[in-house]
């Protein structure tokens, strides 16, 4: 039987949305923690979904990040409550890389939809080429 107070996949989703918004604003974990009067380690635990965020704390976070509380639940409709697997999603892992964050910021500044699509095509081609090279390297070693 799962402890009702332990974090679950909804907590993980809320934490991922918290991290995404914080990064959109270019805010550090330390700065957000300072605004909330808590430690940055607590922010890390929230973002990983390790610790649940209480209602009043979520309200404070929404004010600090300038979004409605509903923002944190967007896209969560299909999530089934249950224990977090402990394995980070590829999106979460990518957001931990500062190069990914820089890429997303630069990409968001491209206003022309056709240019954005061309950029996606280029990145996908690079990823595909990198993937096949990695497979070839493993085969030869």
Q: CA 88 to CA 115: how far, in whole Å?
A: 31
**For range 66-91, the mean pLDDT:** 68
The number of distinct structural domains making up the chain is: 1
Q: Give yes or no for a contact between 51 and 40, defined as CB atoms under 8 angstroms apart.
A: no
Say if 39 falls within a structural domain.
Answer: yes
The total of other beta-carbon atoms located within 10 Å of residue 6's CB is 12
Range 70-106 burial, b when 16+ CB lie within 10 A, else e: ebbeeeeeeeeeeebeeebeeebeebeeeeebeeeee
Q: Is the pLDDT reported for residue 68 higher than 70?
A: yes
C-alpha torsion sign, points 111, 90, 94, 68:
positive
User: What CATH number did the domain enclosing 42 receive?
Assistant: 1.10.260.40
- In this prediction, residue 89 carries a pLDDT of 58
pLDDT at 131 exceeding the cut of 80: no
The boundaries of the domain holding residue 43 are 9-85
pTM: 0.60
pLDDT of residue 81: 44
Higher pLDDT, 79 or 100: 100
Q: Is the pLDDT of residue 48 over 70?
A: yes
For residue 137, pLDDT beyond 80? no
């Amino acid at each position: 039987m799962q402890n009702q107070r332990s974090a679950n996949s909804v907590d993980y989703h809320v934490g991922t949305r918290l991290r995404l918004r914080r990064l959109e604003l270019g805010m550090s974990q330390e700065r957000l923690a300072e605004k909330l009067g808590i430690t940055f380690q607590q922010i890390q635990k929230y973002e990983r979904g390790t610790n649940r965020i209480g209602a009043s704390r979520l309200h404070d976070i929404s004010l600090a990040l300038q979004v409605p509380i509903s923002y944190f639940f967007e896209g969560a409709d299909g999530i089934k409550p249950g224990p977090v697997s402990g394995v980070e999603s590829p999106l979460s892992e990518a957001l931990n890389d500062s190069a990914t964050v820089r890429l997303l910021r630069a990409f968001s500044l491209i206003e022309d939809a056709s240019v954005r699509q061309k950029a996606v095509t280029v990145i996908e081609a690079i990823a595909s080429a990198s993937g096949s090279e990695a497979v070839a390297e493993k085969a030869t070693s």
